[in-house]
Structure 1
Amino acid sequence: MSIIIKFFVAPNRDAAAAVVEGGPEGIFDSLTYGNFDAEEALIEWESIFTGQSFAQLADADVPEVVADPEDGEGPLVFLVSAALQDALASADDLRLAEVSQRWVQERAEDRDVFDPEISAGILKGLAELASRIDDRKDRLYCWTA
C-alpha cells in the first residue's frame, strides 16, 4: 500500500524519472492522494475501462515502471498506460461514476473498504488532469512513496 500517491503530467519518461526521489509537486501539474495500492488501482481502473482482465494487464507489465531506484523499497514512478490516460480524458461524469462504483465493489470483495465519494473524487481528479494534457508527447505518471 502506498502512503503518498501523486499523479502528474510530464513531457517524457526521463523528466518523470528525474522526480523519483522528491516527487513531482512544484515541478509538474500534480494531484495528491494516499493510502491505497496505486499500482493495483491503475490495473483495476484500466481493466474496468477497457474490459481487459487484471491478469492480462499484469502480464503485459501495466503499469510500466519508469523509475525504481530502491528495487521496490522506496519511491517509484509508473507510466499510466495510453489506454487508461485516453479513457480517463474522454470519460464523462456518468462513466467515471460507473468505474468508481465497480472499483469500490472490487475492493470490497478483497475486504478493502473505500469511501465511494473519495473513489469518485480520485477518478474525477485524474480525468480532469488527463483531459488537460494537450501535447501528444505529455503523459500521465504516478509517483508513490
Structure 2
Amino acid sequence: MSIVIKFFIAPGDASAAGIADSGPDGVFGSLTCGNFDASEAVIEWESVLTGQSFEALVASGEPHTVTDTGDEGSPLLFVISGALQWTLAGASAARLVEVGEVWIQERAAEGEVFAPEMAAELLSDLADLARTADGRGQTVITS
C-alpha cells in the first residue's frame, strides 16, 4: 500500500483545516513524498535535531493535530512543532544528511529501508519549506 504524504505551508490551523479534503495543491507551497509514518518521522527528526527524547516529545503533545475524524480514508492533518520548523530552517545541508542517516538507522531497526539520497533530499526539501514558512510567519502542516 502506498501512502502519500504532503507537507505544506499554511497561515494557521483554520486555513489548513479548510483545505483538508481538497488538499494543498495550488493553494500553498507543498512537498509530496510517501511510504512512511509522517507523525512518527517528524518526532524522530525533531529528537535527532534537538536532542530531546522521542518519549518527551510525544508527552509534550507534538506534533499537534489540526484535523482527525478517525474515519479511514479521511485526512489527518498535523502541525510540525515550532522547534522542528525553526531547527530545520536553520540546519545546514551537512546536518540534514546526518539527521537522515540517523533516521535511516532507526527505521532499519524496525525493518524499514530508505535510501540515503531519498532521506537527504526529503529533509533538504522540507528545510526549504520550513524556511519559506518562517519567512511568511506561517507553519508547516502535514497530511
Q: TM over 0.5: same fold?
A: yes
Deviations 1:95-119 (A, max 9, x none): 1011011000111111111111101
Q: Amino acid of the residue matched to residue 81 of structure 1?
A: S
Aligned residues: 141
Q: Provide the secondary structure at the position in 2 that maps to 1:121.
A: helix
Deviation at 1:20, TM superposition (A): 1.2
Instruction: Answer whether contact 1:2 1:38 (CA < 8 A) is retained.
Output: no
SS in 2 for 1:101: helix
Moved more, 53-62 or 6-15: 53-62
Matched, 1:100 2:100: yes
2-structure distance, mates of 1:75, 1:115: 27
Report the Cα distance in structure 2 between the residues aligned to 1:2 and 1:55, rounded to whole angstroms: 27
**2:112 paired with 1:112:** yes
SS in 1 for 2:136: coil
Name the Cα RMSD after superposition.
Answer: 1.4
Work out the percentage of aligned pairs sharing the same amino acid. 49
In the TM superposition, what whole-angstrom CA distance separates every residue of 1:79-137 from its partner, at most 9, and x where no partner exists?
0100000011000111101101100011111111111110111100000111112132x
Amino acid aligned to 1:36: F
Mapped to 1, the partners of 2:103 and 2:81 lie a distance apart of 18
SS at match of 1:132: helix
Structure 2: which 5+ residue stretches go unaligned?
none
Report if the CA contact (8 A) 1:91-1:127 is conserved: yes
Which aligned pairs between 1:81-96 and structure 2 lie closer than 5 A? 81-96=81-96
Residues 35, 23 of structure 1: CA spacing in aligned structure 2 closer, same or farther, 3 A cutoff?
Answer: same
Q: Which secondary structure state, in structure 1, belongs to the residue aligned with residue 84 of structure 2?
A: helix
TM-score scaled by structure 2? 0.94
Q: Which residue of 2 aligns with 1:135?
A: 136
Secondary structure, aligned partner of 1:27: coil
1:100 maps to a residue whose letter is G
Equivalent in the alignment of 2:5: 5
Deviation at 1:10, TM superposition (A): 0.5
Stretches of structure 1 that go unaligned for 5 or more consecutive residues are none
